[in-house]
Chains A and B, each alone.
Chain A
Amino acid sequence: MLAFVLRRAGATLLLLLALSLLVFGLLYLAPGDVARNLLGTRNVTPEALAQIRARYHLDDPFLQQYWRWLTHAVTGDFGTSIRTGRPIGPLMLEKTGITAATAGLAFLLSVLVGVPAGIATAVRRGRWLDRVLVTVSVVGVSAPGFAIGLLLLYVFALGLGWFPIYGTGEGFLDSLWHLALPAVALALGLGAFVVKLTRAAVIRELDQDYVTFARGRGLSEGATLRIVLRNAAIPIVTSLGLMVAYLFGGTVLIEVTFALPGLGSLMEESVLFKDIPVVQALTLAVAFVVSAAAFLVDLSYLLIDPRVRARAVRR
């Protein structure tokens, strides 16, 4: 068990290292010049431009720049944001709450609605409820989050006035109220994805011989379904783990649409500005969360499936 955890941690570290090099390289190659972004179209002397470039070490060779970043990063110093002039740690920390709340709310919504809906459609395969839910989920999977966001805003915020149009609100209930529409916009695509995956996994199990046998033995539908669900759980949980990565991608557009000061909008602005230190720190943070989620998913297999547990113990 400990060996398993250590192996996974080592692999995650290697992954993060490779990712940091890749992102740094991509941003280095991306067109644009940080010094120009700071100054705009304004006329500046070449000396002034050179001074700014020197201050951010923009003229150093690529590997040297990366090494400088890495040696600081391993000590926990992710540097200073070029765009805002603030240290990155506190900058990210104050924005994490909003993104975590929106993403968490969207995750909860899509799981709490998506999994039961998926099971219901699988059990009633081919009947009207199945057809309706599958059609709705196809729409949900195909509609882009920001378009859904704008539509929701138009109908529920401007038209009906049930929800605020933008911002974060103050206090727990007010914040929840402000985050409801962004979370729903984010959860629609995600929930549809969960419905489709759950349906496929449950149907696959329902077609197995053991189900026919269980029914033949005279087990009740409820008891049979319990066995089926336990077996269908592994693919469902795996897909939920993958969704964490999707969630972070979705927040970028959703946060811009709803004017939420979270990590997503920070990411958008920093990438456009070529604010490398911020993008690096953000990518690594997201990669870390995704890796952690994958790790938790792996651990959950041990709980769900006794066969995996037996194999892990034997090793």
Chain B
Amino acid sequence: MAGIDERGVLSRRGLLKAAVTGVTILSAATLLEACGAAPAPESSGSGGSAAEGADTGKDIELLRVALPGSLSNLYPGQESGILNYYVAGICMEGLVGVDTSGAIVPALASKVERTSPTTYVYTIRDDARFHDGSPVTADDILHSIEMARDAKASPSTASYWANLDKATKSGANEITLSSKTADEAFGWIPSNVDALWIAPKAAWEKAKNQIGTAQSLLVGSGPYKVTDFAPDSHVELTRVDTWRGTRPKVAKIRFEFIADDNTRLLAWKANKADMSLNVPLAQARQWESAAGTRVVYAADRSYAGLTFNVSAKPFDDVHVRKAIAHAVNRDAIVKNILHGRGQVATALSTPEQFGGLWTPDQATKELAAIPQYAYDLEQAKKELAQSSVPNGFTAALSYPNTGPHLGTAALAFGADLKKIGITLDVKELPIEQWLAELNTFPPLSYMWYFNTTGDPGELASWFLGEGNPAKYTNATITDTMAKAGAESEPAKRAALLIEAQSAQAADVAYLPLWWGQSAIALSSAVGVHDYTSYTLLANWPEHLYAAK
């Protein structure tokens, strides 16, 4: 990007220093792998304001973004990593989208009406045009929905549409979706943060299940179009003039895929990028110390917690579960292992998912009303003494290699559990193997879940519903959750969700540990307004500006 950047490359005189530090980096990387966390940064709390630096009002000709992974296909229905969502979201729209507060907002539909608990009527806006200049019609949208539901065209997201009964054209500019059961979460499905990306019918037909590849580039109605894509190398998006909204300041965005964490950090230090997504928390201090760099943290709506299979011994005994709950020092985990980059979780819903009703701070207060288990080893011993295994037992707990902090936390509370007689056998698994193990309902397991929508019931409806990973059943909770599913008044629904989660807390089938944060790095020449956990899912280039 043109403009001044404080990050200079090292001088030749600094060569020796460079070589020595190179060795340090290597050994540090090995060390991090070994202990799963970086040394604690001195600061706590937020790592700098996102909107630092005055807005110069100038255009950004080229924004270079370093992505921590490789994209082979740009269509999230095929390859549905979070990075695919960030890229596709500024090119293709859904009927609805999301704003930075996490509320559902109109996109290609100018208006949504819920005429009955299972019927949603979308009025299609008449001023929307695809990148090729053709107008967006109800037929294009219906065809896109059909493609999104088709397991061949969208293998990753077709299953999200399971609750759709039918999609019909109910007027020249109107589409009606009806769901099989009343479910508040249904409203999120036709959005580009969940399972719908709208392209012209002709483009789908021409692509023949290959949309999103380098041969059939994405076509949409968003503010940017794909102008160059080399799978596993880079993708370039260019601002279009067919966009009906405010013209974003960034003319061109080039995403470079640099999967290796160390290489990406080197590229950043060499001033090869202006923005880097998902900065690994274990490396955050090295990023923060790079010249002209701001590392910005935001809650990422992730939930980390323990799941007890209540049908497996010895976790079928509520005293065992309560003993563990009392033995886990969640405050210490957040402070010492996450270095404050997270929040003690009191519920399955994250505070950021109550957008439109409460701010995250208000939601945190409301969720704190759910009964909690204080860290108290004496109490833990008493509970264990009342259980079927008063002398303790051994249990296995595995965590995915992509979340080393989960392992460090497990070792930390494992040490406390040892004091009350419970031996925790902690092991790391490749993410693929860990996912497969979750399918087998292990007696004790971690859940590390990234909520994709802003629906506060997203995780709760799974964890407290049928087929949940804890094999937990509670008739009262089932009733409450059914009411919450049909309730469309946000305040009443939130109250019902909290009621259900309070009832769950008494049984401790799930022990929430923390809500996570993730970080992005920005060069000093780029600023961002309203950076929240939703910004990258919304029309995010609109929030960027050239900073001074």
**Main secondary structure on A side of the interface with B:** helix
User: A167-192 CB contact bits vs B (8 Å, 1 = yes)?
Assistant: 11000000000000000000000000
User: Are B447's CB and A85's CB within 8 A?
Assistant: no
User: Are B439's CB and A150's CB within 8 A?
Assistant: no
Q: A85-B210, A257-B263 are in contact. Are A159 and B435 (CB under 8 A)?
A: no
In the bound complex, what is the Cα–Cα distance between A154 and B18 (angstroms)? Answer: 7
User: Are A48's CB and B159's CB within 8 A?
Assistant: yes
User: Are B155's CB and A55's CB within 8 A?
Assistant: yes
Q: Does B371 contact A (CB under 8 A)?
A: no
In the bound complex, what is the Cα–Cα distance between A259 and B22 (angstroms)? Answer: 18
Residues in chain A near residue B230, CB distance under 8 A: 168, 261
Q: Does A272 contact B (CB under 8 A)?
A: yes
Q: A83-B79, A154-B19 are in contact. Are A272 and B430 (CB under 8 A)?
A: yes
Residues in chain B near residue A90, CB distance under 8 A: 215
Q: Does B73 contact A (CB under 8 A)?
A: yes
Q: Which of B15, B257, B430 contacts A32 (CB 8 A)?
A: B430
In the bound complex, what is the Cα–Cα distance between A16 and B214 (angstroms)? Answer: 31
Q: Which of A37, A52, A84, A147 contacts B231 (CB 8 A)?
A: A84
User: Are B266's CB and A165's CB within 8 A?
Assistant: yes
Q: Does A155 contact B (CB under 8 A)?
A: yes
Q: A154-B18, A154-B21, A155-B18 are in contact. Are A266 and B232 (CB under 8 A)?
A: yes
Q: Does B395 contact A (CB under 8 A)?
A: no
Q: Does B34 contact A (CB under 8 A)?
A: no
Q: Output the nearest chain B residue to A34 by Cβ-Cβ distance.
A: B432
CB distance from A168 to the nearest CB of B (A): 6
In the bound complex, what is the Cα–Cα distance between A36 and B429 (angstroms)? Answer: 15
Q: Which residues of chain B (426-476) have a CB below 8 Å from chain A?
A: 429-433, 435-439, 447-450, 452, 461-462, 467
Q: Which of A33, A55, A150 contacts B263 (CB 8 A)?
A: A150
User: B252-294 CB contact bits vs A (8 Å, 1 = yes)?
Assistant: 0000111110110011011010000000000000000000000
CB distance from A13 to the nearest CB of B (A): 31
Residues in chain B near residue A151, CB distance under 8 A: 19, 22-23, 26
CB distance from A104 to the nearest CB of B (A): 19
In the bound complex, what is the Cα–Cα distance between A160 and B231 (angstroms)? Answer: 30
| Most interface-central of A32, A48, A55, A259 (chain B CB within 10 A) | A259
User: Are B72's CB and A83's CB within 8 A?
Assistant: yes
In the bound complex, what is the Cα–Cα distance between A134 and B42 (angstroms)? Answer: 47
9-residue interface stretch from B6-14, B124-132, B356-364, B497-505? B6-14
Q: A160-B15, A259-B263 are in contact. Are A52 and B433 (CB under 8 A)?
A: no
In the bound complex, what is the Cα–Cα distance between A48 and B266 (angstroms)? Answer: 42
Q: Which residues of chain B (131-177) have a CB below 8 Å from chain A?
A: 151-152, 155-156, 158-159, 162
User: Are A158's CB and B266's CB within 8 A?
Assistant: yes
Q: Does A41 contact B (CB under 8 A)?
A: yes
Q: Output the nearest chain B residue to A153 by Cβ-Cβ distance.
A: B266
| Most interface-central of A42, A85, A257 (chain B CB within 10 A) | A85
Residues in chain B near residue A258, CB distance under 8 A: 263
In the bound complex, what is the Cα–Cα distance between A283 and B23 (angstroms)? Answer: 34
Q: A32-B432, A55-B151, A158-B9 are in contact. Are A85 and B78 (CB under 8 A)?
A: yes
Residues in chain A near residue B159, CB distance under 8 A: 39, 44-45, 48-49, 51-52
CB distance from A43 to the nearest CB of B (A): 4
Q: Which residues of chain A (277-300) have a CB below 8 Å from chain B?
A: none
Q: Does B70 contact A (CB under 8 A)?
A: yes
Residues in chain A near residue B266, CB distance under 8 A: 150, 153-154, 157-158, 165
User: Are A150's CB and B72's CB within 8 A?
Assistant: no
In the bound complex, what is the Cα–Cα distance between A145 and B375 (angstroms)? Answer: 47
In the bound complex, what is the Cα–Cα distance between A283 and B447 (angstroms)? Answer: 35
- Report the count of interface residues on B (CB-CB < 8 A): 65
Q: Which residues of chain A (250-284) have a CB below 8 Å from chain B?
A: 256-259, 261, 265-266, 269, 272-274
Q: Which of A33, A81, A82, A160 contacts B439 (CB 8 A)?
A: A33
Q: A43-B462, A155-B19, A158-B9 are in contact. Are A166 and B256 (CB under 8 A)?
A: yes
Q: Does B25 contact A (CB under 8 A)?
A: yes
User: Are A166's CB and B267's CB within 8 A?
Assistant: yes
Q: Which residues of chain A (125-175) have a CB below 8 Å from chain B?
A: 147, 150-151, 153-155, 157-161, 165-168
Residues in chain A near residue B209, CB distance under 8 A: 85
Q: Does A86 contact B (CB under 8 A)?
A: yes
- Report the count of interface residues on A (CB-CB < 8 A): 55
User: Are B18's CB and A86's CB within 8 A?
Assistant: no
User: Are A32's CB and B9's CB within 8 A?
Assistant: no
User: Are A261's CB and B432's CB within 8 A?
Assistant: no
Q: Does B478 contact A (CB under 8 A)?
A: no
| Most interface-central of A83, A90, A95, A166 (chain B CB within 10 A) | A166
Residues in chain A near residue B25, CB distance under 8 A: 150, 154
User: Are B70's CB and A261's CB within 8 A?
Assistant: yes
Q: Does A31 contact B (CB under 8 A)?
A: yes
Q: Which residues of chain A (15-53) have a CB below 8 Å from chain B?
A: 31-33, 36-49, 51-52
User: Are A158's CB and B18's CB within 8 A?
Assistant: yes
In the bound complex, what is the Cα–Cα distance between A166 and B260 (angstroms)? Answer: 10
In the bound complex, what is the Cα–Cα distance between A253 and B177 (angstroms)? Answer: 48
User: Are A150's CB and B79's CB within 8 A?
Assistant: no
Residues in chain A near residue B262, CB distance under 8 A: 150, 257
Q: Does B234 contact A (CB under 8 A)?
A: yes
Q: Output the nearest chain A residue to B163 by Cβ-Cβ distance.
A: A45
Q: Output the nearest chain A residue to B461 by Cβ-Cβ distance.
A: A43
Q: Output the nearest chain A residue to B82 by Cβ-Cβ distance.
A: A40
Q: Which residues of chain B (193-233) have a CB below 8 Å from chain A?
A: 209-210, 213-215, 230-233
Q: Output the nearest chain B residue to A80 by Cβ-Cβ distance.
A: B209
User: Are B439's CB and A157's CB within 8 A?
Assistant: no
Residues in chain B near residue A55, CB distance under 8 A: 151-152, 155
Q: Which residues of chain B (466-495) have a CB below 8 Å from chain A?
A: 467
Residues in chain B near residue A259, CB distance under 8 A: 233, 256-260, 263
User: B504-547 CB contact bits vs A (8 Å, 1 = yes)?
Assistant: 00000000000000000000000000000000000000000000
Residues in chain A near residue B22, CB distance under 8 A: 150-151, 154-155, 159
Q: Which of B15, B73, B260 contacts A256 (CB 8 A)?
A: B260
- Can you list 30 A-B pairs, Cβ within 8 angstroms, ordered by A? A31-B432, A31-B436, A32-B433, A37-B435, A40-B435, A41-B449, A43-B461, A45-B159, A45-B162, A45-B467, A48-B159, A49-B159, A52-B151, A84-B72, A84-B73, A84-B79, A85-B78, A85-B209, A85-B210, A150-B26, A151-B19, A154-B18, A154-B19, A160-B12, A161-B270, A166-B272, A167-B234, A261-B230, A261-B257, A274-B432
Q: Give residues in B with beta carbon < 8 Å to A.
A: 9-10, 12, 14-15, 18-19, 21-23, 25-26, 70, 72-73, 78-80, 151-152, 155-156, 158-159, 162, 209-210, 213-215, 230-234, 256-260, 262-263, 266-267, 269-270, 272, 429-433, 435-439, 447-450, 452, 461-462, 467
Q: Give residues in A with beta carbon < 8 Å to B.
A: 31-33, 36-49, 51-52, 55, 81-86, 90, 94-95, 147, 150-151, 153-155, 157-161, 165-168, 256-259, 261, 265-266, 269, 272-274
Q: List 5 A-B pairs, minimum CB-CB distance, nearest first.
A: A48-B159, A159-B18, A154-B22, A261-B232, A43-B462
